[in-house]
């Protein structure tokens, strides 16, 4: 199979997942419909009517981690091609990535010392 065909198969799988979901919904619909009743569609809040809307600003208390995560996630994009050619490049590859990772790791330590790795 060529790469294009492989991705076509994966795309077909995606379409299949959507088709399966839709046919399950159709089956459920054939079994019975949802009856419209007052108060039934209020989001769960343990017995009390919920204050609307729930879409308010949420304090993501892990923002320090999130910023470090961005740096590490970008770096991982380079790690995969590097990992594949690692053995043929030998020691050079180890040292190249070693220096890169050491700098990144120092960044992690610096972030840690500045209090990035805690609940804000």
Partner 1 sequence: MNAVLLGLGLLAGIYAVALLEDRLTRGSFAPAAPLLAGIALLARESVVARKPDRLLFETAPVLLLSAGLLAAAVLPLSPTLVLVDLASGALFVNAALAYVLVALLMAGWGPDGAYAMVAGWRFLGQVIAYSMLIVMPITAVAIRAESLLTTVIVVSQEGWWNIFYQPLGFVLFYIASLAVCFLPPFDRPIAAGELAAGVEAEYTGARLAVLRLGRMVLVVSLAAATTVFYLGGWQGPWLPPWAWGATKVLAVAASMLLAGYYLPRLREEQLLAWCWKLGIPLALLNIFVVGVMVLAGL
Please state the closest distance from residue 30 (CB atom) to partner 1, in A.
9
Sign of CA dihedral 8, 14, 18, 24: positive
**Can you list the pairs that 58-62 forms with residues at least 24 positions away whose Cβ atoms lie under 8 Å?**
61/119, 61/120, 62/119, 62/120
Supply the minimum distance, in Å, between the C-beta of residue 24 and partner 1: 6
Nearer to partner 1, 13 or 110 (CB): 13
CB contact at 8 A, 71 and 86: no
Q: How far is the CB of 53 from partner 1 (least distance, A)?
A: 5
Tell me if 118 sits within 8 A of 67, measured CB to CB: no
Residues that bind partner 1 (CB under 8 A): 1, 3, 6, 9-10, 13-14, 16-18, 20-21, 24-25, 27-29, 31-35, 40-46, 50-55, 58, 60-62, 65-66, 68-69, 72-73, 76, 79-80, 83-88, 90-91, 93-94, 97-98, 101, 105, 108, 112, 117-119
Biggest CA–CA distance in the chain, Å, is 70
């Amino acid at each position: 199979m060529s790469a294009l065909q492989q991705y076509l198969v994966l795309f077909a799988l995606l379409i299949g997942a959507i088709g399966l979901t839709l046919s399950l919904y159709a089956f459920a619909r054939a079994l019975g419909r949802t009856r419209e009743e007052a108060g039934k569609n209020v989001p769960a809040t343990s017995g009390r009517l919920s204050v609307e809307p729930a879409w308010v600003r949420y304090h993501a208390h892990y923002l320090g981690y999130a910023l470090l995560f961005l740096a590490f996630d970008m770096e991982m994009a380079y790690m995969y091609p590097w990992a594949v050619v690692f053995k043929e490049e030998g020691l050079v590859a180890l040292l190249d990535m070693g220096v890169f990772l050491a700098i990144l790791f120092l960044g992690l330590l610096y972030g840690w010392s500045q209090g990035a790795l805690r609940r804000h």
